[in-house]
Chain A
């Protein structure tokens, strides 16, 4: 008798059985910082992100640090007892598959029974994730996706369904553009001063993703409100920065080669490259921009450049690149909160916190709100969250006023989106120098450059921006 076929069948059945057993065993609750037996009643917070990528990793780290503080303090008041925060790590795989992401949300809500959802990075997937969460009326604190429409096209359009959506970090794409204009002005002013160029040329290099579309549109397309004015046919940047936009290049967010784009940008005579990256293309840019010694200063948004490992990943070629970020070592946003927390993050994880680590503040927000109400009821929590930052009270788990977090004071507008401004959530600028990130914005920041943009002054820990030496050398020789 041929024994191979029965043997294969038996092995296959055993493997399937083992798989089913492992998959259906209830996981031990993860309640970091909690001492003593774990009670049945817990506040379950799902952390939703691409956990194989840095974005999800930072989300998880920030959440763990917050949960540890809250649980060590005895937990959250729920009814007549105190209960711990339980974190549920949900790998959405959203960068690679929107379908996977939606399925992950469904499973976390129906199987893991999470009470709150925190996270969501890739807008293209987050749309579907939010819809699933709204079907179950789960509060979702966005920590990752910047697309303005995630809040502006949901909450005000159908409040009853979408009122559970709030964005904690980052500031939305429109605000990101405003901060970017401040960073651009900082660089453009240096170009004028050092190169004697009256009208610097700016090239836009932005990955082709939804969140970047609004920024690119505002940067290069004629601003509709300028019709009939002296600025007709000019973009916001051209009108208010006095620059010439030489073009926009939109590579894929996973592009592995940007030499053609960079060569074309150099050929266009650009003095500045305005970057808009969230994906791995940011690493490709940092390396090739430096290795080709492209004579244009790089400034903008590059999420990969917020990581400590970016210097190593680009083999040091990213020197003098400027990126917007939420946290920079040594830069103080909230006195006695931001710098100590960033330092403890670096000490614990060996990495700079990227903006996704703002889940730290999101977890505290949930804990404070539930603790104050004594209930997890979603509708009650929504009403309370809407008042965040507007109450004249101190937080329970952190000795800071209501709403104050590591990135600034958190206040939501009527679309449940985090508000940007002085004293509120800010957005910093940082430059890579000698293997480390140095804060360069806000540094002597005034109002503008777009009318009505507030001034941020100088934050403790920031320094003056430096133009890459090769840019000065190349353009002054010519």
Chain B
């Protein structure tokens, strides 16, 4: 049983990590509360379905087009909906929820409520330590780790990353030193949406698509980012695996209660926050945030 928990937990954690990396960037680093993040994941997944299944395009081309389309929609959404009110965090949050619902209802209108599925990048399974794991899960795990590394590299080693962090830290000061705050927010949003789209296209083949799937995923990414600590990418990574292992353990130790796996994750998050309110790697001081 230990091997099953180790392998399946890693697979689940990888999915959570990939879903959370973009949210960690936009919420944790840039402090833009975009609760429509997982709705963009959903949009990308449905776009892959539309391009590949309905229009019959090549699958990999469909993935690229889906990501580009989602980034375009996300960027437009930012410009039209978030940019005018970006000083008001609460308003941004409420608008993002509305945006998520709008995307949801658009999916209902276009695709209906019936379930869809998209082909896998890598079909079939591998056996590790005698445990079967879907190749798709392994791919997601790899891409999650790589994406997190790339984001960390960008934020710490590039001028763009430093500018993004500076803007998140203090917009006024950033503006005073010559950083175009509006553009920084726009670029951060575009990057986060691109990561959301990547997550949607990679995780999409592993789940059943429905217009309401974004809400379930949102709870997961919020839990991961808050548990990991706002602003901490490594915290998000650790939290993703902690919650992934928690859910897997529930299924193995309490099979009749496997429907409570999500609740168990949230209880773990609650316990950690009670002991450490800033999260696992949360930053107490703004200057230390990354």
Which residue numbers of A lie inside 8 Å of B, CB to CB? 50, 52-54, 57, 96, 207-208, 247-252, 254-257, 259-261, 263-264, 266-267, 280, 283-284, 287-288, 291-294, 304, 309, 312-315
Contacts and interface: CB of A to CB of B under 8 A. Distances in A.
A432 to B, nearest CB: 15
Contact of A52 (B8, B108, B117, B216): B108
27 contacts: A50-B113, A52-B113, A52-B211, A54-B113, A208-B259, A247-B255, A248-B255, A249-B256, A250-B257, A250-B259, A251-B251, A252-B258, A252-B262, A255-B259, A256-B206, A256-B216, A257-B207, A259-B12, A259-B134, A260-B8, A280-B115, A288-B134, A291-B123, A313-B117, A313-B208, A315-B117, A315-B119
A263 B131 CA distance: 7
B4 interface: yes
B137 A256 contact: no
A291 B205 CA distance: 12
B252 A260 contact: yes
B4 A267 contact: yes
A57 B258 contact: no
B124 interface: yes
B125 A251 contact: no
Contacts of A266: 132
B125 A280 contact: no
Given A313-B117, A315-B123, 19 more contacts: A96-B212, A208-B259, A247-B255, A248-B255, A250-B256, A252-B258, A254-B212, A254-B216, A257-B207, A260-B12, A260-B252, A260-B258, A263-B7, A263-B132, A264-B255, A280-B208, A291-B134, A314-B117, A315-B119
Contacts of A247: 255
A280 B115 CA distance: 7
Given A53-B113, A291-B125, A293-B125, A261 B258 contact: yes
Nearest to A208: B259
Interface in B187-237: 206-208, 210-213, 216
Given A250-B258, A254-B216, A264-B4, A283 B115 contact: yes
A250 B114 CA distance: 23
Interface of B: 1, 4, 7-8, 11-12, 15, 108, 112-117, 119-120, 123-125, 131-134, 137, 206-208, 210-213, 216, 247-248, 251-252, 255-259, 261-262
Which 5 residue pairs of A and B lie closest in terms of their CB atoms, listed nearest first? A52-B113, A256-B207, A208-B259, A260-B251, A252-B259
B8 A259 contact: yes
Contacts of A50: 113
B114 A259 contact: no
Contact of B11 (A248, A252, A259, A261): A259
B30 to A, nearest CB: 28
Contacts of A280: 115, 208, 210
B258 A52 contact: no
Contact of A54 (B114, B123, B251, B256): B114
Contacts of A291: 120, 123-125, 134
Given A264-B4, A264-B251, A249 B117 contact: no
Nearest to A91: B113
Nearest to B256: A250
Contacts of A255: 258-259
A315 B119 CA distance: 7
A53 B8 contact: no
Contacts of B117: 283, 287, 312-315
Given A50-B113, A53-B113, A293-B125, A256 B259 contact: no
A351 B110 CA distance: 19
B115 A313 contact: yes
A54 B114 CA distance: 6
Contacts of B137: 259
Given A50-B113, A248-B255, A280-B208, A256 B123 contact: no
Nearest to A295: B132
A263 B3 CA distance: 10
Contacts of A53: 113-114
A267 B1 contact: yes
A53 B255 CA distance: 29
Nearest to A56: B113
B123 A259 contact: no
A291 to B, nearest CB: 6
A52 B115 CA distance: 10
A382 B13 CA distance: 56
A72 to B, nearest CB: 29
A101 B258 CA distance: 27
Nearest to B124: A291
A249 B4 CA distance: 15
Contacts of B124: 291, 293
Contacts of B125: 291-293
A212 B11 CA distance: 29
A256 B132 contact: no
B108 to A, nearest CB: 6
A208 B8 CA distance: 21
B80 to A, nearest CB: 15
A292 B258 CA distance: 19
A259 B133 contact: yes
Given A260-B248, A313-B208, A292 B4 contact: no
Contacts of A283: 115, 117, 208
Contacts of B133: 259
B265 to A, nearest CB: 13
A41 to B, nearest CB: 35
Nearest to B210: A280
Contacts of B262: 252
Contact of B252 (A248, A250, A264): A264
A421 B247 CA distance: 43
B198 to A, nearest CB: 18
Contacts of A287: 117, 208
Nearest to B251: A260
Contact of A257 (B12, B116, B210, B257): B12
